[in-house]
Amino acid sequence: MAERPPVVVHPPSPSGGRRVTIRGAIAGVAYGLPDLLEFLRRAGLDPDAVALDDAALIEWRGGGSDVWM
């Protein structure tokens, strides 16, 4: 079975923002890319080295990196 990416950005919620899970744990709700990058930094990932379109690292559900509402 294929392994899922360690970071999942869930679909936008009706009230705004997207839940982010990292390695199965909820990191928080991101309201934009700065929030997501901070969650990645806190998880020990270098936000400057992360390619947001790397499907092996991030699974975007309900829209890509340009969809937040």
Full residue range of the structural domain in which residue 26 is found: 7-60
pLDDT at 1 over 60: no
* Residues 36-58: tens digit of each pLDDT: 999 999 999 999 999 999 999 99
Domain-embedded: residue 46: yes
Amino acid at 46: D
* pLDDT on residue 66: 94
Residue 20 maps to a domain: yes
pLDDT tens sequence across 13-29: 999 999 999 999 999 99
Number of domains in the chain: 1
Say how many C-beta atoms besides its own lie within 10 A of residue 38's C-beta.
Answer: 15
Q: Count Cβ atoms below 10 Å from residue 3 Cβ, excluding itself.
A: 6
In this structure, what token pair is assigned to residue 67? 């969809």
pLDDT given for residue 3 in this prediction? 76
